[in-house]
Amino acid sequence: MVRVLSLAVGIVLADSAIVTLALPQILRELDAEVSEVAWVLTAYNLVLGLAAVPAARMSLTAARAPLAGVAGLIVFAAASAACALAGSLEMLIGARVVQAIGGALVITACLELLVQATGDAHRGAARWATAGVIGAAVGPVAGGLLTEALSWQAIFFVQVPLVLLAIPAAWALRERPEDPEWAAEAATAVHPLQGGTADRPRVAANLALALLSAALTAALFLLVLLMIEGWQRSPTITAITVTVIPVAAILSGTVARLAQASTRSEAVAGSILIGGGLIALAFLPGAEPAWTIAPQALIGLGLGLTVESLTAFALRDRFPRALQGGWTIASRHLGIVVGLLILTPIFVSGLTDARAPAQQAIAGIVIDAPLPVSTKLTLAGELGEQLDAERGRVPDLAPAFEATPIAPADRREASALAVQLDDQLERAATQAFQNAFLVAGLLALLAIVPALLIRDVDRREPDDHAPTQATPGTVTA
Amino acid sequence: MTLRRFMLPGAALVAVLAVLGMQFAFGGGDFVPSAAADPCVERPLGPVTTDLDQVTQAVVVGGVQDAACALGTSRESLLLALPNATDRAALAQQTGKTEDEILAAVKAGMLASVDRLDQGGRIPPASGLVDAYASELGLSGLALQAVKSVPPEMIDRLLPTGAVVRRAIEGLDLAELLSDADGPDAWEPALRSAIRDAAIAEVKEQILDQLPSSLSSVFGG
């Protein structure tokens, strides 16, 4: 029961970035542009962020949470199937909007359902936060592998049976006797539905989550686009490469245990790691995937140190739980949207700005290439056509060489020229993403400010406030 | 904050600095497209060749470089702008010159390039280019045999390569060439045609120069 509910949470949060690796294929199949296709990600995160708090209000009682959860799972599964069957970008984005509404219901209901299923408020909340972190980190890798093995549609088809598995578990929890905590909360009248006042969300922790989520989007979205579109690497290679982030995120648990640090120290350290990793991605020494491993390791460690502990801190002693969970989901996903809205135009303009230096570099190399004038002139014309046809993407120069008649004696020089030109394109693409990575790094470093405002408690110390002692309406940073 | 509270953020900072340090040590930040070379820095002359194609390339590339230096732009920018009217107009605005002045600079640059190559001994004598000339002039069979039987010294005297190339450049109408709708595909035949015309005119002039003035006037000299 706990597993299938955790799986549903993981899938809903994985969907926030699961299509990242499929975007280049969607871009080509649905004949879209980079700025348009980014809405497949943006729409989901925007609606999930906006719907999380209203959806949470549907799970404020023990009786309502299973119903809201089941409704959400059905909507999410149906919308996932619609995403897989979408024949146009507009249809796909529309289905993603519905999917996010279902996802908001699932994610907020599952917080309560996991507490009920585990029988322990902290264990349930921790399970919920961990499932979310793992889902968000593993999502792009799973999406990339499915895209490469089958198609981008497979990402959505696969989700349908997996989320439907959680329906019996959610439904069964209707029969559970009421949790003593629920009773305690009801006794202190903290339920807005019962006329009580809900605790205010922890602003500092949620703000830090929003800023870090914005930055983490860059780590996944921009890095994947750079590798597939800029460096022309396959989704499989890219998926394998970006597994560094989830692996490092898992290893961060060991680091956290060894350090025995407080939530504030972990949040500050994590922000430094994510910011530093993103800045390192802005200064890559080459276009080999290996160069991204160390920056990704920093980002993964930062992800593991921050998101789970900040989420747990935001939920600690805050009631009603579902509503507090809704605020953390809203913060994270609206943060992702802000990140996408800030970063997409930056890297799109970076691609445009990189065009002139790339053309100049290509022209210089073609001029000096040891090839006959006639070959160079034809090749220059073909290269010009490829560069003009890029439509905001990094061009593929191979067709230009295929269309140019090259004498057998000149083929070796032509091959060497093709390698040199590809190197220039990789350099231009890497440079095009530089400003976006730097801005994303700054967003992560900005999260240090709210992180410093967090009450400095050891995240593993026993809770100093029993649920029944929680003061309704308490404001804590 | 106790020392323990600084440990994790401090360790994070050290890890970030270590990664950034390693990346910069391996050229991080320099992985950008190659910058255009300074066109005002003279490049070494290429090897001595008897390939007319290579000579033409050397003349054009050297000429564009000279023109770019004179116009205050890069040879790459100039070459990219030349085939397209909009790009030419943009370059004219950027350099503060008219399009005619840009084309005149290219022509002057090519003539200077010929002089430089000629002085550096990089323009082969015509006797070494008989096959290439014959191909440009459309000679074959007996006509080619006849040309090949001419002593090399006479060929070199009748067809001084530098003068032929200079004449071909002077005869080129760059504005017309660049406005050709076929773009770069049309340039090579036009250049070949200019060289052929220049070679014929040069031979004619050299022959007329060798003739007594009375005969020369009969043949239109």
Element (H, E) at A108: helix A89-118
Rounded to whole angstroms, the Cα distance separating A26 from B12 reads 37
Tally of helices (H runs) and strands (E runs) in chain B: 12, 0
User: Which residue would you say has higher pLDDT here, A465 or A437?
Assistant: A437
- Choose the closest CB to B23 out of A280, A301, A361: A280
Calculate how close chain A gets to B65, using CA atoms only, in Å: 11
Asked if pLDDT for residue A470 goes beyond 60, the answer is: no
Q: How far apart are CA B120 and CA A124, in angstroms?
A: 84
The sign of the CA dihedral B165, B169, B171, B176 is positive
Q: Helices A321-368 and A203-217 sit at what angle, rounded to 10 degrees?
A: 30
Which residues of chain B does A269 touch, with a Cβ-Cβ cutoff of 8 Å? 8-9, 11-12
Distances (CA, A) of A108 to A79, A207, A210: 18, 19, 17
In this prediction, residue A468 carries a pLDDT of 35
| CB–CB contact B34 A361 (8 Å) | yes
Distance CA B167, CA B198 (A): 5
Q: Which residue has the higher pLDDT, B28 or A375?
A: B28
What is the total count of domains within chain B? 1
Residue B200, min C-alpha distance to chain A (Å): 23
Give the pLDDT of residue A31: 81
- B33 within some domain: no
Kindly report, residue by residue over A155-200, the tens digit of the pLDDT.
999 999 999 999 998 888 876 655 555 555 544 444 555 555 677 8
Please give, rounded to a whole number of angstroms, the shortest distance from the CA of B49 to a CA of chain A. Answer: 13
Mean pLDDT on A427-431: 91
Does B8 contact A291 at a Cβ distance shorter than 8 Å? Answer: no
Candidate from A266, A276, A374 with C-beta closest to B20: A276
Which of B13, B30, B34 to substitute to test the interface with A, most A CBs within 10 Å? B34
d(CA A242, CA A223): 8
% pLDDT > 70, chain A: 89
Instruction: At A262, give phi and psi (nearest 5°).
Output: -80, 170
pLDDT at B34: 86
Q: What is the mean pLDDT of residues A229-257?
A: 86
Q: Please give, rounded to a whole number of angstroms, the shortest distance from the CA of B30 to a CA of chain A.
A: 7
Of B12, B31, B37, which is closest to A430 when you measure between CB atoms? Answer: B31
pLDDT in tens, B37-52: 888 988 877 777 777 7
Q: Which DSSP string do the residues of A208-246 spell out, in sequence order?
A: HHHHHHHHHHIIIIIHHHIIIIIS---HHHHHHHTTHHH
Q: Do B57 and A373 touch (CB under 8 A)?
A: yes
Which of B4, B5, B8 to mutate to probe the A interface, most A CBs <10 Å? Answer: B8
Residue of chain B whose Cα is closest to the Cα of A423? B33
Domain that holds residue B83: 52-218
Q: Which residue has the higher pLDDT, A259 or B74?
A: B74
- Inter-chain residue contact A428 with B33, CB threshold 8 Å: yes
pLDDT beyond 60 at B216: no
Distance from CA of B185 to the nearest CA of A (A): 6
A&B contacts, CB < 8 Å? 147
pLDDT in tens, A109-126: 999 899 888 888 888 888
Q: What is the pLDDT of residue B221?
A: 52
Q: In Å, how far is A139's CA from the nearest CA of chain B?
A: 25
Please state, rounded to an integer, the average pLDDT across all residues of chain A.
84
Which of A276, A287, A305 comes nearest B19 by C-beta? A276
- Are A361 and B185 within 8 A, CB to CB? no
Average pLDDT over every residue of B156-175:
83
> Residue A471: which pLDDT band, with cuts at 50, 70 and 90?
very low
For the residues A61-72, what does the mean pLDDT come to?
87
Least Cα distance to B76 among A383, A235, A149 occurs for A383
- Domain A1-180 belongs to what architecture? Up-down Bundle (1.20)
According to the model, what pLDDT value does residue A129 have?
Answer: 86
- CB contact under 8 Å between B8 and A363, yes or no, is no
Contact A265 B76 (CB under 8 A): no
Which site among A226, A257, A373, A460 would you substitute to test the B interface, given the most B Cβ atoms closer than 10 Å to its Cβ?
A373
A378–chain B nearest CA distance, Å: 6
| Residue B45 Cα to chain centre, angstroms | 12
Within 8 A of A363 by CB-CB distance, chain B residues are: 76, 79-80
On whether residue B100 sits in a domain, the answer given is: yes
| Cα distance between residue A218 and residue A476, in whole Å | 30
A22 versus A394: the higher-pLDDT residue is: A22
Compute the average pLDDT of residues A245-260. Answer: 84
Q: Do A259 and B7 touch (CB under 8 A)?
A: yes
Question: Is A286–B75 a contact, with Cβ atoms under 8 angstroms apart?
Answer: no
Q: What is the pLDDT of residue A344?
A: 83
Q: Is residue B31 part of a domain?
A: no
Higher pLDDT, A464 or A70: A70
What DSSP assignment string belongs to A124-181?
A: HHHHHHHHHHHHHHHHHHHHHHHHHHT-HHHHHHHHHHHHHTHHHHHHHGGGSPPPHH
- How much is the pLDDT for A461? 47
What's the confidence (pLDDT) of residue B2? 66
Q: What pLDDT, in 10s, does the model give residues A191-227?
A: 555 555 677 888 999 999 999 999 987 678 889 888 9
Instruction: Write the DSSP string, B123-158.
Output: S--GGGGHHHHHHHHT--HHHHHHHHTS-HHHHHHH
Per the CB < 8 Å rule, is B80 touching A261? no
In a domain, B95, yes or no: yes
∠ Cα B12 B13 B19 (to 5°): 90
DSSP bridge pairs for A262 = A458
**Cβ–Cβ below 8 Å for B16 and A284:** no
* Contact between B108 and B62 (Cβ < 8 Å): no
- In this model, does residue B213 exceed pLDDT 70? no
Residue of A279, A360, A381 with shortest CB distance to B74: A360
Residue A266 has its nearest CB partner, among B8, B60, B64, at: B8
Q: A435 or A400, which is more confident?
A: A435
Which residues in chain A have Cβ-Cβ distances shorter than 8 Å to B9? 265, 268-269, 272
Whether residue B208 is contained in a domain is answered as yes
For the cut 90, the answer to whether the pLDDT of residue A261 exceeds it is: no
CB contact under 8 A, A298 and B16: yes
What local confidence, expressed as pLDDT, does residue A473 receive? Answer: 34
CB A77 within 8 A of CB A160: yes
The SS3 assignment for A458 reads strand
Identify whether B72 is part of a domain.
yes
**Residues A53-70: b if buried by 16+ CB within 10 A, e if exposed:** bebbbbbbbbebbbbbbb
Lowest mean pLDDT segment, chosen from A28-32, A222-226, A298-302, B199-203: B199-203
SS3 A262: strand
Q: List the structure tokens of A197.
A: 């006042």
Distance of CA B129 to the CA centre of its chain: 19
Asked whether residue B13 is assigned to any structural domain, the reply reads no
Asked if residue B108 belongs to a domain, the reply is yes
**Inter-chain contact A280–B61, Cβ cutoff 8 Å?**
no
Q: Work out the average pLDDT over A83-108.
A: 95
* Integer Cα distance of A232 and A238 in angstroms: 10
Query: What is the pLDDT, as a whole number, of residue A196?
Result: 58
Asked if residue B113 has pLDDT above 80, the reply is: yes
pLDDT at residue A91 in the model: 95
